[in-house]
Amino acid sequence: TLFIFSIDNCDLEDNKEEEKMMVRKVSMYYFSQTSVLCLNGSYSIPIPFSPPCPHPGPQPSDQYGTRASFGLIDQIDTSRWSAAVTSPPGYMVSLSICSPPDAPIGRWRLTLGQGGLVEFVLLYNPWCTGDVVYMDSEEKLTEYVLAQDGIIFRGSWKHLISTPWNFGQFEDGILEACLRILEMNPKCLHNPGKDASGRKNPIYVSRVLSAMVNCNDDKGVLLGRWTGDYDSGVSPLSWTGSVEILRNWDTNACQPVRFGQCWVFAAVACSVSRALGIPCRVVTNYNSAHDTNSNLVIERYVDDNGQLVQKSGDMIWNYHCWVENWMTRPDLKPGYDGWQAMDPTPQEKSEGVYCCGPIPLKAIKEGELTYKYDAPFVFAEVNADVHTFMKDKDGSTKKIISTVQVGLKISTKSVGSDRREDITHLYKYPEGSDEEREAFTKANHQNKLLQQQENAGLLIAIKVSAEMRKGCDFDVFAVVTNNTPNGKKCRLVFGSRAMSYNGILGENCGFKDLLNVELAPGEEKRVPLRMNYSKYAENLTEDNLIRLMALLLDYGTREAYLAVRNVVLENPEIKVRILGEPKENRKLVAEITLQNPLPVPLQNCCFTVEGSNLTGGQIITEKLNSTVEPGQDAKVKIYFTPTHSGQRKLVVDFDSNELCHVKGYRNVIIGK
| pLDDT of the residue at 12 | 25
Other beta carbons within 10 Å of 419: 10
| pLDDT of the residue at 449 | 56
| pLDDT of the residue at 448 | 60
One-letter identity of residue 169: Q
> Is residue 363 predicted with pLDDT exceeding 90?
yes
> Is residue 144 predicted with pLDDT exceeding 90?
yes
Identify the structural domains of the chain with CATH numbers, from first to last.
Answer: 4-123 (2.60.40.10), 138-439 (3.90.260.10), 453-568 (2.60.40.10), 574-670 (2.60.40.10)
Q: How confident is the model at residue 456 (pLDDT cuts 50, 70, 90)?
A: low
Query: Backbone phi, then psi, for 437, in 5-degree steps?
Result: -65, -40
Q: 387 catalytic, yes or no?
A: no
How far is it, in rounded angstroms, from Cα 86 to Cα 349?
Answer: 52
Any idea what the Cα angle at residue 311 is, between residues 228 and 382, rounded to 5°? 75
CA dihedral 138, 108, 353, 358 (to 10 degrees): 20
Least confident of 99-103, 329-333, 640-644: 99-103
> Is residue 602 predicted with pLDDT exceeding 60?
yes
Is 538 one of the annotated binding-site residues? Answer: no
| pLDDT of the residue at 15 | 29
Which is nearest to 415 in space by CA: 208, 137, 609, 661? 137
| Better-scored residue on pLDDT, 22 or 212 | 212
User: Which residues, 6 or more positions from 40, have their beta carbon under 8 angstroms from its beta carbon?
Assistant: none
Is 385 one of the annotated binding-site residues? Answer: yes
| pLDDT of the residue at 241 | 98
How far is it, in rounded angstroms, from Cα 606 to Cα 658?
Answer: 12
CB 141 within 8 A of CB 133: no
| pLDDT of the residue at 65 | 76
DSSP code string of 437-486:
HHHHHHTT-HHHHH------SEEEEEEE-S--BTT--EEEEEEEEE-SSS
DSSP code string of 123-188:
E--TTSTTSTT----HHHHIIIII--EEEEEEEETTEEEEEEEE--TTSTTHHHHHHHHHHHSHHH
Query: Backbone phi, then psi, for 426, in 5-degree steps?
Result: -80, -20
Strands 28-33 and 385-391: unpaired
DSSP collapsed to 3 states, 341-368:
EECCCCCCCECCECCCCCEEHHHHHHCC
One-letter identity of residue 584: E
| pLDDT of the residue at 8 | 32
> Is residue 157 predicted with pLDDT exceeding 60?
yes
| pLDDT of the residue at 32 | 47
> Is residue 436 predicted with pLDDT exceeding 90?
no
Any idea what the Cα angle at residue 82 is, between residues 78 and 84, rounded to 5°? 110
One-letter identity of residue 592: I
Any idea what the Cα angle at residue 271 is, between residues 135 and 156, rounded to 5°? 95
Q: Which of 291, 314, 343, 554 is catalytic?
A: 343
CB 382 within 8 A of CB 391: no
For the stretch 539-553, pLDDT in tens is 999 999 999 999 999
DSSP code string of 281-309:
EEEEEEEEEE-SSSSSEEEEEE-TTS-EE
DSSP state at residue 82: E
Any idea what the Cα angle at residue 164 is, between residues 163 and 168, rounded to 5°? 140
DSSP code string of 194-216:
HHHHHTT-HHHHHHHHHHHSB-S
Is 139 one of the annotated binding-site residues? Answer: no
CA torsion sign for 222, 223, 224, 228 is negative
> Once rounded to an integer, what is the mean pLDDT over residues 567-571?
97
> Once rounded to an integer, what is the mean pLDDT over residues 253-279?
98
- Which residues does residue 315 pair with via DSSP β-bridges, in sequence order? 290
Cα distances (angstroms) measured from residue 592 to each of 555, 596, 622, 639: 57, 13, 10, 11
| pLDDT of the residue at 475 | 97
CA torsion sign for 193, 194, 197, 199 is negative
With left for phi above 0 and alpha for psi between -120 and 50, is residue 510 left, alpha or beta? left
CA dihedral 114, 120, 122, 128 (to 10 degrees): -90
> Is residue 20 predicted with pLDDT exceeding 70?
no
For the stretch 230-249, pLDDT in tens is 999 999 999 999 999 999 99
CB 135 within 8 A of CB 123: no
> Is residue 558 predicted with pLDDT exceeding 50?
yes
How far is it, in rounded angstroms, from Cα 652 to Cα 383?
Answer: 36
> Is residue 397 predicted with pLDDT exceeding 50?
yes
pTM of the model: 0.91
| pLDDT of the residue at 52 | 57
Q: Which of 320, 387, 445, 661 is catalytic?
A: 320
CB 439 within 8 A of CB 365: yes
Q: 394 catalytic, yes or no?
A: no
Least confident of 304-308, 447-451, 548-552, 593-597: 447-451
| Better-scored residue on pLDDT, 101 or 592 | 592
- Which residues does residue 475 pair with via DSSP β-bridges, in sequence order? 530
Q: 509 catalytic, yes or no?
A: no
Strand order in the sheet with 116-123: 20-24, 116-123, 106-112, 52-56
For the stretch 465-482, pLDDT in tens is 988 999 999 999 999 999
How far is it, in rounded angstroms, from Cα 425 to Cα 366?
Answer: 11
Cα distances (angstroms) measured from residue 311 to each of 298, 391, 637: 11, 10, 51
Q: Which of 128, 188, 254, 262 is catalytic?
A: 262
DSSP state at residue 313: S
> Is residue 11 predicted with pLDDT exceeding 50?
no
Instruction: With residue 193 as reference, give the H or E element that holds it.
Output: helix 192-198
Instruction: Break the chain down into helix, strand, coil percent, rounded to 5.
Output: 15, 40, 45
Percent of the chain with pLDDT over 70: 89
> Once rounded to an integer, what is the mean pLDDT over residues 50-73?
72
> Is residue 2 predicted with pLDDT exceeding 50?
no
| pLDDT of the residue at 218 | 93
| pLDDT of the residue at 501 | 95
Strand order in the sheet with 82-85: 28-33, 93-98, 82-85
> Once rounded to an integer, what is the mean pLDDT over residues 106-131?
85
For the stretch 188-223, pLDDT in tens is 999 998 999 999 999 999 999 999 999 999 999 999
Cα distances (angstroms) measured from residue 596 to each of 227, 606, 662: 27, 13, 11
> Is residue 609 predicted with pLDDT exceeding 50?
yes
Is 482 one of the annotated binding-site residues? Answer: no
For the stretch 282-321, pLDDT in tens is 999 999 999 888 788 888 888 888 888 866 778 999 999 9
Cα distances (angstroms) measured from residue 649 to each of 153, 231, 325, 479, 645: 16, 30, 23, 43, 12
User: Which residues, 6 or more positions from 434, have their beta carbon under 8 angstroms from its beta carbon?
Assistant: none
| pLDDT of the residue at 574 | 98
3 state DSSP class of 377: helix
